[in-house]
Structures are given as structure tokens and as C-alpha cells.
A and B are shown apart, each in its own frame.
Chain A
Amino acid sequence: MGDDIMSYNGGVALAMKGKECVAIACDKRYGVQTVSERLRFRTNLYELREQRKLKPLVLYNMLTNLLYERRFGPYFVYALVIGLDPKTGETYVFDSDNIGAISDNVNLATVGTASDYIFGLGELFFKPNMNADELFEATSQALLNGVDRDSASGWGAVVYVVEKDKVTVRELKGRQD
């Protein structure tokens, strides 16, 4: 199934949907390792036990379950799950709060310290059925400009664009302060 990329190392993350492509971007400030390790463990176990790759919705359910287990002592993690079904081309973007609130499959999601600053840009730059290049530019511009107005995130950014047959990872130039 589609390669799913989760963002757990950044002050902020943003995901957007295009036509048969989906993008996720994050800045490069502080890292949250434990949740991704725990999730990696559970996904590996799932894939071994079930003998198949897990689908985006399964990963999302695993993540929200993991977070809600710690409802009364949460991880300080806001996560996004994105994915693409290579058979149908259907795209998935899910968000969650730090205790595992379940979201719909949305067009645009952003979490983290600069999310308020990014939502406006995201809504302006988003349009339905973008191609991979348009999607990359929209995602990158929304992230970089949003992050510049936030003191707690920054230090450049990484953007992943997932398409049916490949994942393109681009490192972006950003303010280093």
C-alpha cells in the first residue's frame, strides 16, 4: 500500500491534498521520537502478524488509540497522518490532537505551534485537484510564511510529496532564527 509518512519532528506540520498526490511538510526544530518509535513498533508488528502493509486508516487508528491510551498523561504530540492508495489514487489526510481526537479525511490540516499562522495561508493557497508541483509550492509557501511569524518554530523545512509511484523529499531554504 501507499507509503505513509508521519511527521514527528518539528514545531509544526502541514498536510495538503492534491489530485492523486498528497504532501506533508514540517519544520526542523525539536524532535518527538518516542511516539514514532512506539508507532513503528506497532506497525511492524501489524505487518508481521497480518502479512500485509497497513493502510492509512489503519495507521491513523493505531495512532489515535496510542494517544488516547494516555488520555490522562498525554504525549505533547500533535500528529498528522497522510497516505495514498496506489490502486485507486485516493488520498488521505488526517489530523489529531494530543489525546487522539479522530478527524475526518480532510483537504488541509496543520498542527503545532504555528498552526494558527499557517491555516490562513493554507486556505488561500489550497484548491481542489492540484498537480504534484502546484501542491508542493502551495504546501511549502504556506509552511515557510507561517513559520516566519512564529517564534517557536523554524530552521528550514522538509516537504514530502507522495505520488502513486514515488515520494519526493525536498529540503527548503528558510530563515535560520
Chain B
Amino acid sequence: MVKQHGWYPYEFQSGTTVAVAGDDYVVVASDTRLTENYSIQSRTHSNVYKMHNNSLLLSTGFLGDVLTLKKTLDGRIKTYEYTHNKPISTPALAQMISIMMYGRRFFPYYTNTIITGLDTDGKGCVYGFDPVGSMTQQLYACEGSAMPLILPILDANILGKNTSKPGQVKRTKEETVKMIKDIYMAACERSVELGDAVVVHTLTKEKGIETDVHPLRKD
């Protein structure tokens, strides 16, 4: 086979994000390690971005694209507000991101994106995307380098898959926060790219965003 040298404008800076929707809350988390190849670029970089309308954007992958996506989105959220005289709802924002991403179908943002927030009834919602804008609403989502380690845990713990009584297991937001911290701790034992700390944000109608930082292994 002929070896082709191409222009490859992407890098991958790892990071792992988790989002879990509840009846009246949404819990999101991200580790704070930023890597490139063999080394650590930052130990304090969270992949959760608070948007102007109180939605939380979780994005990992190529940091340049993540930041550009976030910046473009910030602008469009404000434009929406000025045009329609109300903040954009999270479901509408998700639709907007999907369209934006598909607009770059042949030079995509190299990002694994999740958008979370509360819908108009105050119920938690989570939308996951692939890099070119395919969107699904989910009960929970996980993206990033340690996704293979974490996603099956969420399947088991939230949906009760493969048990004699399958079905969604309801949790309070405190229980969910604890579970997510433990999941990061477990994944941290086995993934080289995950570590340093996990930032957990809880979003509720009453209290807005509450943030909790939990230390992880530093090696």
C-alpha cells in the first residue's frame, strides 16, 4: 500500500465527562487532567463549561475545537436572547448545536459533546452528540478517553441491566454525586489518562449550580 502523508490538524487531549439526568436535577462531572501524548498538560482543567442560559456544556477531544465550539455557542446564545427576548432552553440549544456541527460535516469539530440542563418543567435533560451532529436525548451519557470503563457502570447502576429486576434505579442527587465520584475513582485505577481530580456540578431549579471538587490519584 502506498503510504500517504496528510495534513492532520487535530490533537487529542483526553478528558472524561459524565452526565446523569434526574427528575429535578442534573449531575455532571469531568476529570481535570489534560494530556497530550505521554505527558500531562494541566491538572486543573475541567471539561464542563457553564453557558449563559444555565445549560452545562461538556466537551472533550481536541481542546482547540472545544474552545472554539464554546465561543461560537456563547455568541449564538446571546443572539438568540436578543432576537427572541428570552433565554434559550436546553432542548433548543441542543438542536442548535446539532445543526452547527452538521454544518461542518466535512471538517468537523473534533469533539465529543454533551449538553445538559433543566427543561421548561425543571426536569433534568442530557443530550449527546457525535462529532458531526447526530443527537440523542439520554438518561445519562459518558464521553471521552475513559468512556469504555465508565459507560457499562452507568448501564448497570442506573438502568439495572442484567439483573433479575431490570429497570431504572431512582437516586437522589446526593446519591448520584456519591456514585459519580466512586465511578471516577474506579476508572482512575485503570486509565492512565484519567486523574488528578473530578469536578462534580449539580444543577437544580432551586439552587442553581453547586460545585464539588473531589481529589483523585495524581500518578
Contacts and interface: CB of A to CB of B under 8 A. Distances in A.
Interface of A: 116-121, 123-124, 140-141, 144-146, 148-149, 174
Contacts, number: 53
Contacts of A174: 162
Interface of B is mostly: helix
A149 B151 CA distance: 8
Contacts of B182: 124
A117 B191 CA distance: 11
Given A117-B148, A117-B152, A149-B148, A124 B161 contact: no
Contacts of B187: 120, 123
Interface of B: 146, 148-153, 155-156, 161-163, 182-183, 186-187, 189-190
A34 B162 CA distance: 32
11 contacts: A116-B149, A119-B190, A120-B187, A123-B149, A124-B186, A141-B156, A144-B161, A148-B162, A149-B151, A149-B155, A174-B162
Contacts of A124: 153, 182-183, 186
A123 B189 contact: yes
A155 to B, nearest CB: 14
A174 B183 CA distance: 24
B149 A120 contact: yes
A146 B187 CA distance: 13
Given A120-B149, A120-B190, A149-B152, 6 more contacts: A119-B149, A120-B152, A121-B152, A123-B190, A124-B182, A148-B162
Given A145-B161, A148-B161, A174-B162, A121 B156 contact: yes
A120 B155 contact: no
A53 B164 CA distance: 39
A121 B157 CA distance: 10
A121 to B, nearest CB: 5
A174 B161 CA distance: 10
